[in-house]
Amino acid sequence: MKGKPHYAWIIVCITFFTLLAVQGIRLSFGAFIEPWEKEFSMDRGSISLISMVSFVVYGISQPVIGRLVDQLGSRLILSFSTLLVGISIFLTYFVTSSWQLFLLYGIVVSIGVGGVSNVTATVVVTNWFNEKRGIAFGIMEAGFGAGQMLLVPGSLMLINWLDWKLTVVILGLFLMVTVFPIVLLFLRNHPEERGLQPIGGSNKEKNRVKFSTEEKVPYWHLFRMREFWFLILPFLVCGFTTTGLMDTHLIPFSHDHGFSTGVTSAAISLLAAFNIAGILVSGVVADRWSSRKMLYLLYAIRAVSLLVLIYSHESFLLLIFAVLFGLVDFATVAPTQMLATKYFKQYSVGLILGWLFLSHQIGSALGAYLPGLLYNETGNYTLSFYISIFLLTGASICNVLLPETSKSKNEEGIEVAALDMQTYDNKG
């Protein structure tokens, strides 16, 4: 029907809202650090250990989640993972000791958050879009930035107005009563479930991206492919320098440099706002330009932004860093997803994305923990930032060495992605 939006856009909105809610609550961990230190007589190191374990559990879950998505579909995984996070956050109200908090948040919540991840959301969005996939990925990924912008300060305000216990009750009920029913009732795994075709039309079976567990080539061939390693390693660096390094250490770095709480808060808000803008722009550009070249530039700009941060002894330099880093913060995800769905069509895309985001979470865990160790030794973050710049330079080089993708037309006249490389046969 003319004028009626395709249901695929509703699917994108649902995934955006789900990521906003669940990942936004996950990113609110820092708001609970001081209340939990007082409540359970824990030191900062013990609280940080919970965060590190959470990253590791989240990362390890991703390949498993990828296979479960192949078998059960994104709808069940997204909805019941949201329910698990909601119940676990709610039950935090009844925690009376640090080991219970470690088990509930570090393990159970992290498993649930692992189900509400890029892996699950990417598979369902890919099913609904054969065209405009880049902008769809961008909108979906913007849920992370929106959650950071809305729920992190929202949690802080609730803790200040009420207390941390009532805050976890409110957040848990929000997931259980609002988000879970919306996902379960309105999300659909495939367009066929509503009698529709994906945006861009449906290709013949041999041209479709496979999400089943029946692969054309053995999985161990992945480890012989440079495409696999040159996507995995830069994405590990991405996790190290964003979720790990910046989300954990930017605020204490800012305080070390003598910036006021107001200036630091302004920088964090700017970073989150430009993060959303960068995500959306990257999705649009990924549909029109080389994802490989995009990633090269994004990692290079991130390295430059860290140089600005090292020498940001004035407030305006910190704000310039926030704008630069925000623009390229999560903007790497959409082009990385685009390349993964093109390079590895002959495999389970869910499993490939699981490996991809496992590497990101390993990088995040290292980025949260190692700079803290180096700070204890050196008394500053300068060495950590220079190491990050070196790693980002390597990530840029990896993307330069990736093969380019091009578009060719199949017999139905539909544009499909093709690799400018020799294809692997079934015997490897």
Q: Are 268 and 325 in contact (CB under 8 A)?
A: no
3-state SS of 294-330? HHHHHHHHHHHHHHHHHCCCCHHHHHHHHHHHHHHCC
Tell me what pLDDT residue 325 has: 94
Distance CA 26, CA 175 (A): 12
Task: Tell me if residue 36 falls in helix, strand or coil.
Answer: helix
Q: What is the pLDDT of residues 255-300, one digit of tens each?
A: 778 887 677 777 877 888 898 888 878 877 877 788 888 999 999 9
Prediction pTM value: 0.71
Mean pLDDT of the chain: 81
Q: pLDDT-derived band of residue 235, with 50, 70 and 90 as boundaries?
A: very high
Position 203 confidence tier, pLDDT thresholds 50, 70, 90: low
Helix, strand, or coil (residue 405): strand
What's CA 419's distance to the chain center, in Å? 26
Is the pLDDT at 412 greater than 50, yes or no?
no
What superfamily would CATH give domain 210-428?
Answer: MFS general substrate transporter like domains (1.20.1250.20)
pLDDT of residue 303: 94
- CA distances 239 to 145, 233, 248, Å, are 15, 10, 12
Residue 251: phi and psi, rounded to 5, are -65, -50
pLDDT for position 166 = 93
Task: Report the pLDDT averaged over residues 20-33.
Answer: 83
Tell me what percent of the residues of the chain surpass a pLDDT of 70.
86
Q: Of 131 and 418, which is predicted with more confidence?
A: 131
pLDDT bin (cut points 50, 70, 90) of residue 405 is: low
Q: Which residues have a Cβ under 8 Å from the Cβ of 136 and sit 6 or more positions away?
A: 8, 12, 125, 128, 129, 283
Dist. CA 418–CA 26, nearest whole Å:
37
pLDDT at 417: 42
CATH topology of domain 1-194: Growth Hormone; Chain: A; (1.20.1250)
Decide if 17 contacts 179 (C-beta within 8 A): yes
Biggest distance spanned by C-alpha atoms of the chain: 67
Confidence of residue 349 (pLDDT cuts 50, 70, 90): low
Q: Tens digit of pLDDT for each residue in 374-398?
A: 887 888 888 999 999 999 999 999 8
Backbone φ, ψ for residue 229 (5° rounding): -70, -35
Q: What b-and-e string marks burial along 95-125, b requiring 16 or more CB atoms within 10 Å of the CB?
A: beebeebbbbbbebbbbbbbbbbbbbbbbbb
Cβ-based neighbours of 128, under 8 Å, separated by 6 or more: 7, 8, 11, 12, 136, 190, 191, 198, 199
> Which range, of 29-33, 159-163, 314-318, averages the lowest pLDDT?
29-33
Instruction: Give pLDDT tens digits for 170-200.
Output: 999 999 999 999 999 999 988 888 888 888 7
The pLDDT value recorded for residue 397 is 92
pLDDT over threshold 70, residue 84: yes
Neighbours of 211 (CB within 10 A): 22
- Residue intervals of the chain classified under CATH 1.20.1250.20 are 1-194, 210-428
- Asked if residue 117 has pLDDT above 60, the reply is yes
Q: Do 201 and 309 contact (CB within 8 A), yes or no?
A: no
Average of per-residue pLDDT across 70-89? 92
Pairwise pLDDT comparison (152 vs 7), residue with the higher score: 7
pLDDT tens-digit map of 92-104: 999 888 888 889 9
